[in-house]
Structure 1
Amino acid sequence: MAYESGNAIPGPDAPGPAGPEPAGDGPPGRRRPRRRALRITAWAALGVLAVGGAGAAYLWSHLNGNVKGVDINAALGKDRPSDAHNGAMNILLLGSDSRAGTNGAYGKGISGARSDTTMVLHVDKSHKKASVVSIPRDTMMERPACPKPHGGTVPGAHQAMFNESYEVGGPGCTVKTVEKMSGVRMDHYVEVDFNGFKKLIDQLGGVNITTSQAIDDNDSHLKLSAGKHTLKGEQALGLVRTRHGVGDGSDLGRIQLQQAFIKALTEKVDNIGLLGNPAKLYDLADTATRTVSADSGLASANKLLGLAKDLKGISPKNMNMVTMPVAYDPQAPDRVLPLTKASQQVWKALRDDKPIPKSAVQNSVGDKGKSPVTASA
């Protein structure tokens, strides 16, 4: 289903939710999120309207020019799952671990980039509830043949690590891989970079979390004692990149941290009082739109705002977050394999616009144990 948003800039009752998040680090198992930038884009309307007249038009066109877009539909053609056509929506949320430019400070150089974080956001037809399915980056799976970003085709692979799809074919190949794996059509994709994520968190004044245990990870440079913390940009990025400091040191523990951070970030965006500060609203919107890359169907401030309005009613308590059911690969303990039957239950729930059954994830190593991080006031 193609998403359409309104053409007019909304008035002062304009709402706002969801966007994305960051990426990860070194060897096997790493990833990270990025999601709530879209909600901030909604606030841009208020800041722009406060400026008024020709100034408003100029500022709004400036925000439109910030967002980078990729025409996924043209790249993938017609060999895709069918549209839902019932008002439900599926958005692929990506975080890449490119070390280009200043991002090199967050890990050793690698050739190209990989999808450090991949989440499927399913918004139900009422747009009041959502399911988020994290796909572990170290999942061994069948990768389909994909179009290259600048022409040509990447051949498929029988046993490939999931995050390599981004490295060999960019976001289009990751979308193709997820659609082939799940049978769920991605209506949109959204992506954010390291530095934009940090700046956004700093501009928000930090995000409040509570840790049930100390976290000490030399790779992500994060050291937190047990208790309450307000994480600014650098620490927030460290948290969503941490894997050695929690759980079994794999990507699965990091996914738990990322999911907890997304809920904390959602609460921060919901509760922050910025309506009386148009200048700050605009600065946040400027950073958010510079941080986001998206498919061409979302690659403008107006369209992101329309999506944010649609997602307004989804609170953290109405967001069910799971990891695609997996088991450790007996041939390679630092890799995971999909639990076929359980994974299909998850994807079928999304295709049918139904809640994900708890039984689908109960035997998955990705949803064992409690996250050591929760949102706090």
Structure 2
Amino acid sequence: MTTSTSRAVPPRHRSAAGTRRRKPVRRGRLALAIILSLLLLAAAGAGWVYLKLDSDINTFDAGGLSDNRPAAGSSKGENVLVIGSDARNDGNAALGGGDVNDIGRSDTAFLLHIYADHKNAVAVSIPRDTLVTIPPCKLPDGKWTTAQPDMFNAAYSVGETRTGNPACTQNTVESITGLRVDHTVVVDFKGFAALTDVVGGVKVCLPQNLYERDLNPHLDSRGKLLFDKGEQKVSGQKALDYVRIRHGIGDGSDIGRIKRQQAFVASLLKEVKDNGLSPTKLLPLADAATKSLTVDPGLGSAQKLISFAMSLKDIDLHNTKFVTIPWRYQGSRVAIVEPDASDLWAALKADRTLDGKDASGKKKATPSARPAAIPTPVSGEGIAVTVYNGTTVTGLAAKAAAELTAEGFTVTGTATARSQDHATTVIEYGPDHKTQAQTVARAFPGAAMQPVPGADINVVVGQSYKGGATAAPQPTSVPKDVVEGARSADDNPCSNLTYG
């Protein structure tokens, strides 16, 4: 038997070399077992971390999103709505003061467009006092409101709950811009303060000393010194105070405060970038943020949040821009300026940067033998429109009117628009005519949709219109005022100290 033969082997054949040959095998197996154990422990640890983060994330009801949303997939880029909530519940009153039972409001909001090439991004701020038409939104009892004109920040307060209504704000942004919002993130006072603490503070720059009365103008005296003049780092409560100050700096307007907030977010991004966008660095940020974040279900897990953050790692700071929606004062409120706003949205939809570059990430088209797709005919039966010429090209409104009539639309008249510098055709409509206006827009590929309180349906023909319902839209450019007012994330924090 093999066993007995083995036992009969003389001792001299069990050489020292033979013994050493077997030992590495045992050590190798032991090392492999240790490595596997460590990997399992690491995986279990990561799982525990993700589970912990997941338990901190709040999501809002996606059932409150409109059924009549802009089409998805028109661009490979993404649009993320970021809302700063001034809700005082859940411990936020300790940082912001006020009544813990007060309803939630949106104190600030911007739409972040991440270009399809994932190397460029632009954040468009929407002033809270902007006059808009708030579309139908879902109430806590499940009923839906009717469309109504109001200020932009009123959308977040629909339903008057302490947690606010992020879905209604998202519906409103989609209605204003014609862009589909892929994700929505709400950050409250606590989340904001925690983020600034984790990155070790954020650089800001003050043109003058600021005092307590600059933050709260109702005080009888200027109070304690809050900030020294010049460059400094702020975090926690001081960071929150900085972005909330309005009256004691610049012209005291909300527009000025928006510029300051843009500079702050730019500085925050720089700190995050400098610290490194690795999972190790992101986990503490995620831990701080998720405790006070409310997100849409599409970002409702730690893995999704961190994966999304990692997808932004190649965006250069200089290519991250901050702008404000084209605006003008209308009394004490803010009105959206057209056609500038529609031109901006059209450029983002086409993934064109502020300086006009193509950031779609698509390769240049090569000649193809495939025939072009035949467009679906548009039926305008029962739809009345008025056509305005928004260009200096004589007869363009009449030409568009003739083509609309041929498609079955009822043209109630033609006229010259109030301005003749429209780059893009704009379809204006009242809140009760949105579905019909969308049919009209199909006759003008690339046209922007613009809700106008009290309007019927107006077609303001722009320079992109070349005649023919199937004419291809021309590349759009961002209005000059928007480009000149842009801020890059790598700008010096001490530039433009007056902020309005």
Amino acid aligned to 2:114: V
Distance (whole Å) between structure 1 residues aligned to residue 307 and residue 282 of structure 2: 17
For residues 177 and 157 of structure 2, the distance between their equivalents in structure 1, rounded to whole angstroms, comes to 20
Matched-pair contact (CA < 8 Å) for 2:121–2:315? yes
1:137 aligns with 2:135: no
Equivalent runs, 1:181-330 vs 2, <5 Å: 181-216=176-211, 218=213, 220=215, 223-272=226-275, 282-330=283-331
Which of residues 73, 80, 91 is equivalent to 2:69? 80
Distance 1:296 1:275, change over 3 A: closer
What's the CA shift string for 1:23-73, capped at 9, x where partnerless? Answer: xxxxxxxxxxxxxxxxxxxxxxxxx9897142332222111222111243x
In structure 2, the partner of 1:37 is none
Residue 481 of structure 2 is aligned to residue 362 of structure 1: yes
For the 8 Å contact 1:68–1:294, the answer to whether it is kept is: yes
Please state how far the C-alpha of 1:226 moved relative to its aligned partner: 2.5
SS of equivalent to 1:244:
coil
Amino acid at match of 1:285: A
1:240 deviation in Å?
1.1
Given that 2:347 and 2:478 are in contact with CA atoms closer than 8 Å, whether structure 1 keeps it comes out as no
Q: Is the 8 A contact 2:70 2:178 kept in 1?
A: yes
Is the 2:137–2:168 Cα contact (8 Å) retained in structure 1?
A: yes
SS in 2 for 1:153: coil
Query: CA separation in 2, counterparts of 1:125 and 1:204?
Result: 28
Residue 287 of structure 1 deviates from its aligned partner by 1.4
Post-superposition CA distance 1:311-346 (Å, at most 9, x none)? 11123211111011111113xx2x111112111111
Q: 2:340 aligns with which of 316, 339, 342?
A: 342
In structure 2, list runs of 5 or more residues that go unmatched. 1-37, 160-164, 217-224, 356-476, 495-500
Q: Is the 8 A contact 2:112 2:124 kept in 1?
A: yes
* Contact residue 323 and residue 487 of structure 2 kept, 8 A: no
Q: Would the alpha carbon gap of residues 274 and 141 (structure 1) be closer, same or farther in structure 2, given more than 3 Å must change?
A: closer
1:103 aligns with 2:92: yes
Structure 1 position 119, deviation (Å): 0.3
State the secondary structure of the residue aligned to 2:215.
Answer: coil
Q: CA deviation at 1:268?
A: 0.7
In the aligned structure 2, how far is the partner of 1:156 from the partner of 1:177? 10
| CA 338–317 in structure 1, closer or farther in 2 if over 3 Å, else same | same
For the pair 1:128 / 2:129, whether they are aligned, the reply is no
SS at the partner of 2:91? helix
TM value normalised by structure 1: 0.76
**Deviations 1:125-167 (CA, angstroms, capped at 9, x unpaired):** 0111001100000111211111224511122212x11100000
Letter in 2 for 1:116: D
Report deviation, 1:283. Answer: 4.2
What SS does the corresponding residue of 1:148 show, helix, strand or coil?
Answer: coil
Partners of 1:246 and 1:367 lie apart in 2 by: 19
SS of 1:163 mapped into structure 2: helix
Whose relative contact order is higher, 1 or 2, with alpha carbons under 8 Å and at least 6 apart? 1
SS in 2 for 1:375: coil
SS state at 1:303 partner: helix
Question: Which residue identity does 1:97 align to in structure 2?
Answer: D
Number of residue pairs aligned between Structure 1 and Structure 2: 320
Q: Is the 8 A contact 1:70 1:294 kept in 2?
A: yes
Superposed CA deviations along residues 278-314 of structure 1, whole A, max 9, x for unmatched, are: 6x86544321221221100011111011111211112
Name the counterpart of 2:349: 351
Partner deviation per Cα, 1:94-142 (whole Å, 9 max, x = no partner)? 1111122432342434841111111000000011100110000011121
- Once residues 175 and 344 of structure 1 are traced to their aligned partners in structure 2, the CA distance between those partners, rounded to angstroms, is 18
Cα gap change, 1:360 to 1:288, in 2 (>3 Å):
same
Distance 1:273 1:161, change over 3 A: closer
Q: Secondary structure at the residue paired with 1:137?
A: coil
- Which residue does the alignment assign to 1:32? none
Contact 1:76 1:172 in 2 (8 A): yes
**Superposition pairs for residues 110-189 of structure 1, below 5 Å?**
111-158=102-149, 160-169=150-159, 170-189=165-184
**Runs of 4+ in structure 1 displaced over 4 angstroms?**
48-51, 273-276, 280-283, 366-370
In structure 1, the partner of 2:428 is: none
Partner of 1:33: none
Find the aligned partners of 1:168 and 1:138 in 2 and give their Cα distance: 15
Matched, 1:89 2:73: no
Preserved contact between residue 119 and residue 132 of structure 1 (Cα < 8 Å): yes
Matches of 1:82 and 1:157, distance apart in 2: 23
Please give the alpha-carbon distance, in whole angstroms, between the structure 2 residues aligned to 1:320 and 1:231. 22
**TM-align CA RMSD:** 3.1
Letter in 1 for 2:493: A
- Cα distance change on mapping 1:176 and 1:129 into 2, 3 Å: same
- Residue equivalent to 2:385: none
Cα distance in 2 between the residues matched to 1:263 and 1:69: 26
Partner of 1:177, secondary structure, is helix
Q: 252-261 or 355-364, which moves further after superposition?
A: 355-364
Deviating more after overlay: 280-289 vs 239-248: 280-289
For the 8 Å contact 1:132–1:320, the answer to whether it is kept is: yes
2:493 maps to 1:375: yes
Preserved CA contact (<8 Å) 1:261 1:374: no
Alignment of 1:46-57 (within 5 A): 52-57=42-47
The answer as to whether partners of 2:286 and 2:306 remain within 8 angstroms in 1 is no
Please state how far the C-alpha of 1:375 moved relative to its aligned partner: 3.2
* Equivalent residues of 1:217, 1:242 under 8 A apart: no
